[in-house]
Amino acid sequence: MAEPRIHVSIDGHVATITIARPEKLNALDIGMLKELNAACDTVEADGQVRVAILTGAGKAFSAGGDIKAWAAMTPNEFGHAWVRFGHRVFERLATLRVPLIAALNGHALGGGLELAAVADIRIAEAHIKLGLPETGLGMIPGWSGTQRLTLRFGAQAVRRMALGGEVFSADDGLALGLVDHVVETGTALAAAQAYAERIAKRGPSAIEVAKLMIASANGEDNGTAVEALGSILVAKTADLKEGVSAFAEKREPAFKGEW
């Protein structure tokens, strides 16, 4: 079997997801997208995890989608197997129940920047570059580069990258809101771990609900956020316990409207 290229490690309340294809600057292919999806399963299933970190092995965070992985696809394959599947995986990362911190240890370009954008917090090393070079290849940003990035960072920054081909430094990214903190080269992961510990000390239920509410206020996945919040609330009620008991005992439930 092929060696896994997405690694997940859990230390206490912190899960770290590492993209490990350094020889290709952590460029993503279909197999890696599937591994990222499985990494989400691992994080979601561990009730002790309160925060996750996403980073890259070697000198890059991620060079984005591996051109060789999609260049020979038919338009139908490209639209469904590549773009739509990538969207689903990135959406899972963006909607993890726990906060996600991106430790940008290297350049985040194209799909790599789209991947960084799924995180709640981005910590960038001072030397990195940020950009959306796809239109220079006759392609458009396909993993929500024109959507999530615009919602989170504003249309003008995205225009400058996608239309003008501008590439920003870490300091530029800080000024534009693309990243939240800039740290010395070689220290992004340590800084992310320190920030993760800061989050992990706070109330986990409050953090989870706050993340959902912020996403809803920002126009991101309102329906899911509302249903998740409502389900969490109802799951704590005496009525739900009564309804489940009544079902198991094959009787009519005696709801009392008690919270």
- Could you tell me if 123 and 178 are in contact, meaning their C-beta atoms sit under 8 angstroms apart? no
Domain 6-200 has CATH 1.10.3720.10: no
pLDDT score at 148: 93
pLDDT score at 222: 63
Report which secondary-structure segment, H or E, holds 172.
Answer: helix 170-176
The alpha helices in 46-144, defined as continuous H runs, are 67-70, 75-77, 85-94, 111-117
Neighbours of 49 (CB within 10 A): 22
In the predicted model, residues of the chain with pLDDT beneath 50 are none
What is the C-alpha separation between 235 and 241, in angstroms, rounded?
Answer: 8
- Could you tell me if 42 and 4 are in contact, meaning their C-beta atoms sit under 8 angstroms apart? no
What are the pLDDT digits (tens) for 187-208? 999 999 999 999 999 999 899 9
Catalytic residues: 114, 134
What is the C-alpha separation between 113 and 25, in angstroms, rounded?
Answer: 13
pLDDT score at 258: 73
Which phi and psi (to 5°) does residue 92 adopt?
-60, -45
What Cα–Cα distance (Å) separates residue 171 from each residue in 55, 123, 187?
A: 19, 11, 16
